[in-house]
A and B are shown apart, each in its own frame.
Chain A
Amino acid sequence: MTQAGGAAIEAAALSKTYGRGRGAVAALANVSLRVVPGEIYGLLGRNGAGKTTLVKILLDIVRPTRGAAFIRGVTSRSAAARRTVGYLPEDHRFPEYQTGLDALAFYAALSGAPAAGDPARLRGLLDLVNLADAADRRIRGYSKGMKQRLGLAQALVHDPEILLLDEPTDGVDPVGRARIRELLVDLRSRGKTILLNSHLLSEVERVCDRVGIMEGGALVREGTLDALTRVRRAYSIETAPALDDAQLGELAGVVRGAARAGSGIEVCVGEDRGIDAVVDHLRARGVGIRSLAEKKISLEEVFLNAIDDNERGAA
């Protein structure tokens, strides 16, 4: 089964319920999403929101109750779909009898990659994740951060087109994290598609092109970072001189709301053209405008708002 449309990853109305009867737990409810080639898509959500289940369905580790998933147009139920996918699971556990090099050779061979028989390429990959010195050491002696970096290397070992990364910086020190972020950006520049599951909102904010927020098994928000963090018809304005209370009161009569914010003000307008009226009002009173920008909130606020909205909706 294949799907046309050019998406690197596609989930079509996926639902997953674990168990049966009274003990049944709905992990996913009608989730649809598309990740286009060459983008980094961040998947956010609380523990148990359904992110890992979604990723596991994409890899056929878990079978959906309803709906279908596709990797580059090929149904995820087919082993061939996984040929172009690299996966870093959360809480992965390497067999401890393997060395770093053994592990990479093993996973490369399972992926059918020529790198399996090319120790130089495998060592190069270990060098990329800063594990060159530990290549011949048993994984038993690796720290958590080393195992995490090895996890990233095994996901890349067959040079996949698509990467599904579940908490890739978990347990990694700040320097290592920065390197991983650089690596992700570099991979994107080489046309790779990345689905990134992370709790670290700041990280998602720095590297992702689009973000989806999952809550209670559903995808409750989705969009580009810019679109998600922008507050509609709200603006921050820096004026010179600063408005006094009387001027601010007068402005409040023109807009829906106006308030002092730091050295400037924030205004909310009723319609898209309302900001023009604000500019005209200030200019007519000789107030200089030094900067004007749409108001933005942090991804964390977006995330928390999405969860609040969902809980309110459920109530």
Chain B
Amino acid sequence: MRQFLAVMADSLREARARKELWLVLLLASLPILLCASISFRREPMEKTLESLAGKINRLPRGPGRRGGGPRLDLHVAIKGIEPAGRGEEWPPEIRGGHVLDLAFTEPGQLAQLVDRFRDLVLGGGRAAPPAAPETRPPPTETEKDDFLKERFTTFGFNRVCVRPHPAGGERYLVGVRSDYVHEIRGAHSFSLLFGLFPEIPLLNVSVAEFTLRLERGLFEVFAGIVVMAVALLATSGFVPNLLQKGTLDLVLARPIGRTRLLLYKYAGGLWFVAVFTTYLILGAWLALGLRIGYWNPWFLLSIGTVIATFAVLYSVSVLAGVVTRSAGLAGMIALGVWGLSGLIVNLHQQLRLMLYGAELPQWLLSTLDVSYTVLPKTTHLALLSTYALSHSYLSPGMYTRTFGRELEHVDWTFSLGTTAAFTAVMLALAVWRFRRTDY
């Protein structure tokens, strides 16, 4: 235990002496400060609904499409917004919510929107091309109601009820209520840098989505890419420095086995990253919690996934360090494997979809399958955090709409199993090489 602690302490000391560490520290402090400077303010529901009503022509993305296609012009008039329960009788789940009196001022526009909506979502995108417009039957009243209901559900209202207006025509009464106010898009504005930039509207985003995106950005982009790259470079010298002539002799002359020494050194790298990831994630978590009262403990899971991702890549760095004894090469090889594995995982997921129907050479598919199996799937480790974070914070409906599609294709057992096996093989090879070499 004493030997282990000594190597841990020395690893931190070694990292502390490097400029990269201070860069990471500085970089890590910026997003924490940013999180601490944010505050949200709820907008009046009338204003929110008015704004959302103007966006019902922004249709969702269909599978395999980047956007909802050309946007149709919208001609709607808001005849009134009032609390539900007054006047018109509404089901109990709507009471306490609001009723929007919505009139389409151009005849046939709602039918056009429903038709487009069917093309994009109900028709299944490219996979099942819809029939030609002239051969399709006009949307029914139920379809129109469902369309409006879907639109306001997407805006974040988990209770929506649509009724035709007694006045007739293309005029509807839409009753809405949400049990999750933080999921209503455009319901809040935020201020940045302690009020230096006040009242910035969250136009098409809910507080929940904004916070999740901020946190995802922190652990996927910042901790997962920037800190990861800097940490890989900062720790790439740990093993080659140990193996330097004159340095290694001082250590190998001690009563410590080589396997243990190398694994302790590996743990030293993880320790360094653990300290800084914890600082970043815990700091941001505390900042968000204290400022906006958002205390999602699952955000802290990303500390684990970032360390796990680093553990995978650092095993490559350790093996490369033992073989080449060069810090630069070890760092570059680890970064290379990282990039390659990300590329292969994406290709494996996307290629068949992108080239749907095209005949791909068998050798290409086999190579892709073998590479996918052999290489680590660090991308999936980040998805694991996204999964836990969004699953715990969003209502089931919003979760499915926002992230469900991204996560449904991952075979977690296979992915995590092969990634762990890859790490174990890298470390085993490094230990084997280190044990049998004369120094």
Contacts and interface: CB of A to CB of B under 8 A. Distances in A.
Contact of A82 (B2, B253, B439): B253
A154 B250 contact: yes
Contacts of B249: 56, 59, 61, 87, 89, 92
B179 interface: no
A105 B7 CA distance: 11
A93 B253 contact: no
Interface in B241-300: 241, 244-257
Given A109-B2, A154-B250, A93 B439 contact: no
B16 interface: yes
Interface residues of A, number: 36
A82 B255 contact: yes
Given A91-B245, A93-B244, A93-B246, A79 B256 contact: yes
Contacts of B254: 82, 107, 110-111
Contacts of B241: 95
Given A89-B249, A92-B250, A79 B255 contact: yes
A106 B438 contact: no
B255 A98 contact: no
Contact of A62 (B7, B247, B255, B439): B439
Interface string A229-271: 0000000000000000000000000000000000000000000
B438 A107 contact: no
A60 B255 contact: no
Contacts of B17: 96-97
Contact of B253 (A63, A85, A109): A85
A14 to B, nearest CB: 13
B267 to A, nearest CB: 15
Given A59-B252, A60-B252, A87-B253, A116 B6 contact: yes
A110 B250 CA distance: 10
Given A59-B253, A109-B3, A110-B256, A95 B14 contact: yes
A203 interface: no
Contacts of B3: 109-110, 112
B5 interface: yes
Nearest to A89: B249
Contacts of B252: 59-61
Interface in A89-134: 89, 91-98, 102, 105-107, 109-112, 116
Interface string A68-87: 00000000000111110111
A84 to B, nearest CB: 9
Contacts of A106: 6, 9-10
Contacts of A62: 438-439
Contacts of B10: 95, 98, 102, 106
Contacts of A80: 255
Nearest to B436: A63
Interface in A256-298: none
A61 B255 contact: no
Contact of B6 (A79, A85, A109): A109
Contacts of A61: 248-249, 252-253, 438-439
A56 B253 CA distance: 9
B31 to A, nearest CB: 28
Nearest to B15: A97
B246 A97 contact: no
Contacts of B244: 93
A309 B244 CA distance: 37
B250 to A, nearest CB: 6
A39 B136 CA distance: 104
Residue from B246, B252, B256 whose CB has the most chain A CB atoms within 10 Å: B252
Contacts of B250: 87, 89, 92-94, 107, 151, 154
A87 B247 CA distance: 12
Interface string A51-69: 0000010011111000000
Contact of B2 (A89, A95, A112): A112
A89 B256 contact: no
Contact of A95 (B245, B247, B253): B247
A98 B241 CA distance: 13
A107 B245 CA distance: 17
Contacts of B433: none
Nearest to B248: A61
A63 B438 contact: yes
B247 A93 contact: yes
B13 interface: yes
A110 B251 contact: yes
Contacts of A109: 2-3, 5-6
Contacts of A105: 6
Interface string A141-185: 000000000010010000000001000000000000000000000
A151 B249 CA distance: 11
A176 to B, nearest CB: 20
A59 B256 CA distance: 11
A116 B2 contact: yes
Contact of A97 (B14, B245, B256): B14
Residue from B10, B252, B253 whose CB has the most chain A CB atoms within 10 Å: B253
Interface in A187-236: none
Nearest to A138: B17
A112 B439 contact: no
Interface in B157-172: none
Interface in B308-349: none
10 tightest A-B CB contacts, nearest first? A109-B6, A97-B17, A93-B246, A87-B253, A89-B249, A110-B254, A62-B438, A83-B255, A82-B255, A92-B246
Given A107-B254, A111-B254, 11 more contacts: A59-B252, A61-B438, A61-B439, A87-B253, A94-B247, A95-B247, A97-B16, A106-B6, A109-B2, A111-B255, A151-B250
Interface of A: 18, 56, 59-63, 79-83, 85-87, 89, 91-98, 102, 105-107, 109-112, 116, 151, 154, 164
14 contacts: A89-B249, A92-B247, A92-B249, A92-B250, A93-B244, A93-B250, A94-B247, A95-B14, A95-B247, A98-B10, A102-B13, A105-B6, A107-B254, A110-B6
